[in-house]
Structure 1
């Protein structure tokens, strides 16, 4: 990079947008901290430190100016979104692998920020989900682990149970509501909500509050015009319509109500923080709308009939492949409308 370019420093518009996105994640982070304790914070710190370290090394290898590229905030946003999608007490090495893969193969392999065809956070998440399914399905029951037990779970410190004064709970991990519903063939929806601890008032226990928090952050970003409404509305609309079409009331073969689908898993995080990623998403307004609809439809299909409880990452990556076609369609429609 020329010295004059390096002296310019990071683009203030990019810094502002990334800063607002990080700020908008705070309600969700606070709810996750309240529900799951220190694990969320530790995973966030690990992911961000790994992302910044990888970013610095890769920029150095590519002979790019460190201040202008490292401080634009894109690495922090990708790492934060990835950490929020991971189970709060993921082993340290899993967070490191997911984040490093996201930085190398999701961003710098294609030339860095502005050139990545895939969403980096979802690429890292998909890798560890396929490679380490057991660890990726160990979600803790709310309010079960303290600091010392959490450190033991993340770093494998065997002696921390003595410091904490109690052993690690035998049944701290539980299936999510989406996972329970996907394999259920006996109980009605009403019976599941009444009897299973994974279910809350409308969706997964605790997941409703997390989704509401990310909804609040997303509305803040819409109000600040960080992005347009097309992709979020498209995803939530696609998920809502699919769940309405295949909703079978409270029967044992039901896949949950539209409200359940919207407030379980990573629905709001996906709608307002993942599908709105501008580089790997469509550029035209119509393309962004169709991109969101496609993600919502595929997320429901994978949740309901696929092998994974929440298919958001796979849905996003598949739609990333369709972005060129979506852009061509959107641009052609715009040209027709102006002639």
Structure 2
């Protein structure tokens, strides 16, 4: 009879074989198409930048944890993902040391000083990128393609000029290393969806909200397009870091809401902020700042959308 008794143990009672290392490894694999295209598109400087940001991120985490006598966590691939994402958000023309400095800032200041993975209040890669944008505005906003320095398609679009949306889709445009090829980004996103790492709630809501915002308010900008102009909307979707941000950074487990309702609210907030920054802000881009600001609202979003416990005002 005693063999049939239930064994009572402390939580958690449901265990999974999925680990942080597994998830981060899959994210790393999903970023490889965009990384490979970036190297093919921009050449050796892009490869140097990606190696610089990734190696610096891993070394910073290792050295800090060793000095602080903490468990070394570089084998969970989270530092690799941070370094790779930062590298993909960098111009290939920027000096390698700038990318390395950004990785040190992202890992040390944004991640480790707040307690390490799971405690950071914003995405470390985007925090590092914004730090570099503020500190080195010139090099971070200088884009060279085929040996020629020029404005990005979004900058041209903001000035009311026309752009080639097909080139934007393929990636034959100036921009950061990882943002140019929408096709490469979507390949990685599909992999993450199929592997169950992410779902459509946050990126889907983000993109749909942004499309609605741009479709309505694009008419009131300098571009002066018609309401829901297809080419204008497509250009905004393919340009800048929208796709990279929506699929790979807005979905970060640590800095996004855990509740389903909260994820929808988070996606709507991202779409509105990105639209505001792009259409009415001083810069043609806005994804990085939109995600970081939305990260700060996550605790409030979760507090409002967290289901009430049974017997505490919840549904009976």
TM-score (norm 1): 0.79
Match of 2:154 in 1: 178
Residues 47 and 79 in structure 1, CA contact (< 8 A), matched pair in contact too: yes
Task: Sort the Cα spacing of 1:70 and 1:174 in 2 relative to 1 into closer, same or farther, 3 A.
Answer: same
The alpha-carbon deviation at position 34 of structure 1 amounts to: 2.1
1:134 aligns with 2:99: no
Using the alignment, how far apart are the partners of 1:227 and 1:43 within structure 2? 27
Q: What is residue 172 of structure 2 aligned with on the other side? A: 206
**Number of aligned residues:** 288
Gaps (5+ residues) in structure 2? 1-16, 174-178
Q: CA RMSD in A?
A: 2.4
Question: How much does 1:289 deviate?
Answer: 1.9
Find 1:71's aligned residue among 75, 83, 93: 75
Matches within 5 A, 1:1-339: 13-66=19-72, 69-141=73-145, 143-144=146-147, 172-182=148-158, 184-185=159-160, 187=161, 192-193=162-163, 199-201=164-166, 203=168, 206=172, 210-248=181-219, 252-254=223-225, 257-332=232-307, 339=316
The answer as to whether partners of 2:180 and 2:240 remain within 8 angstroms in 1 is: no
**1:202–1:260: 8 Å Cα contact kept in structure 2?**
no
8 Å Cα contact 1:211/1:268 also seen in 2 = yes
| TM-score, normalisation: structure 2 | 0.84
1:45 Cα offset (Å): 0.3
Distance 1:300 1:312, change over 3 A: same
Gap regions ≥5 residues in structure 1: 1-10, 145-171, 194-198
Instruction: Output one character per residue of 1:154-192: Cα deviation in whole Å (capped at 9) or x when no partner.
Output: xxxxxxxxxxxxxxxxxx22110111222x15x5xxxx2
Task: Report the CA distance shift for 1:328/1:309 in structure 2 as closer, same or farther (over 3 A).
Answer: same
In 2, Cα distance between equivalents of 1:251 and 1:47 = 37
Q: CA deviation at 1:248?
A: 3.3
- Cα separation, 2, equivalents of 1:12 and 1:38: 36
Answer yes or no: is the 8 Å Cα contact 2:53–2:87 preserved in 1: yes
